């Protein structure tokens, strides 16, 4: 997973430097968008201990996200974006893994103070958040309730097709568990995180 994160970081950097001319206002108002990014934060969900030493934490705000959707430029000052994504954090080895995955759906609105920069925010609905493991992670399993969070972000456009965004997400995952007396109780896990994304518009 660390190798994948490194490759994504390089890809974001290359996307960001690929263009440096016009802002997003030019061209058709309705466009498709695909993106990928790195995120960090949230409560620790599990720790993978390796046989030869070392450990990796799986967190509720990590680590790699892929998104796809549509972006609509209403006018020179305002735009909206809607995306569906896959967000995952994982600790893996040859003898197993522990994975936290979820599927976020976002609706965001932006204000454009300049042609190359916009900022805004919106809501994020997270579907099917689940933690599970296999191999050395056998016995790790937890399902969380679907949740709604808030997003605040800014995006800089290096050209009409390439954007780099920094974001802050605030969300909480609720779950139900049984204590030692087998009494059902409610718990929550903070999934708050920050992230950096490279987006391609077409």
- Give the predicted TM-score (pTM) of the model: 0.83
**What is the reported pLDDT for 182?**
63
Angle at 47 between CA 45 and CA 51, to 5 degrees: 160
Distance CA(139)–CA(150), nearest Å, equals 32
Per the CB < 8 A criterion, the answer to whether 144 and 173 are in contact is yes
Query: Across the chain, which distance is largest between two alpha carbons, in Å?
Result: 64
Q: Residue 5: which H helix or E strand, with range?
A: helix 2-16
Query: 43: which 2 tokens?
Result: 């409560």
For the record, the structure tokens of 107 come out as: 């609706």
Please tell me the predicted confidence (pLDDT) of residue 137: 72
Q: Assess contact for 52 and 18: CB atoms under 8 A.
A: no
Q: Residue 186: its pLDDT value, please?
A: 86
What values do phi and psi take at 190, rounded to 5?
A: -80, 125
Sign of the torsion angle spanned by Cα atoms 174, 104, 97, 192: negative
CB 24 within 8 A of CB 160: yes
pLDDT per residue as tens, the chain (202 positions): 555 555 545 555 554 454 444 455 556 899 999 999 999 999 999 887 777 767 789 999 999 999 999 999 999 999 999 999 999 999 887 777 899 999 999 999 999 999 999 999 999 999 999 999 887 777 888 999 999 999 999 999 999 999 999 999 999 999 987 656 666 778 999 999 999 999 999 9
d(CA 127, CA 120): 23
Residue 83 contacts residue 62 (beta carbons within 8 Å): no
- Residue 36 pLDDT: 97
Torsion angle defined by CA atoms of residues 178, 101, 43 and 125, in that order, rounded to the nearest 10 degrees: -90
What's the CA gap between 63 and 58, in Å, rounded? Answer: 9
């Amino acid at each position: 997973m660390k190798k994948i994160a490194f490759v994504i970081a390089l890809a974001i950097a290359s996307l960001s430097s690929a263009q440096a001319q016009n802002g997003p206002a030019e061209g058709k108002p309705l466009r498709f968008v695909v993106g990928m990014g790195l995120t960090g934060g949230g409560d620790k969900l599990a720790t993978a201990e390796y046989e030869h030493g070392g450990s990796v934490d799986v967190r509720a705000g990590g680590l790699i996200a892929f998104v796809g959707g549509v972006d609509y430029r209403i006018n020179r000052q305002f735009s909206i974006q809607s995306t569906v994504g896959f967000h995952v954090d994982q600790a893996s080895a040859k003898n197993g893994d522990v994975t936290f995955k979820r599927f976020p759906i976002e609706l965001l609105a932006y204000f454009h103070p300049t042609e190359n920069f916009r900022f805004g925010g919106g809501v994020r609905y997270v579907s099917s958040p689940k933690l599970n493991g296999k191999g050395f992670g056998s016995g790790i399993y937890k399902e969380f309730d679907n949740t709604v969070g808030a997003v605040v972000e800014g995006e800089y456009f290096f050209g009409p097709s390439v954007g780099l965004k920094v974001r802050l997400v605030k969300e909480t995952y609720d779950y139900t568990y049984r204590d030692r007396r087998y009494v059902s109780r409610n718990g929550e896990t903070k999934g708050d995180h920050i992230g950096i994304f490279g987006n391609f518009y077409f």
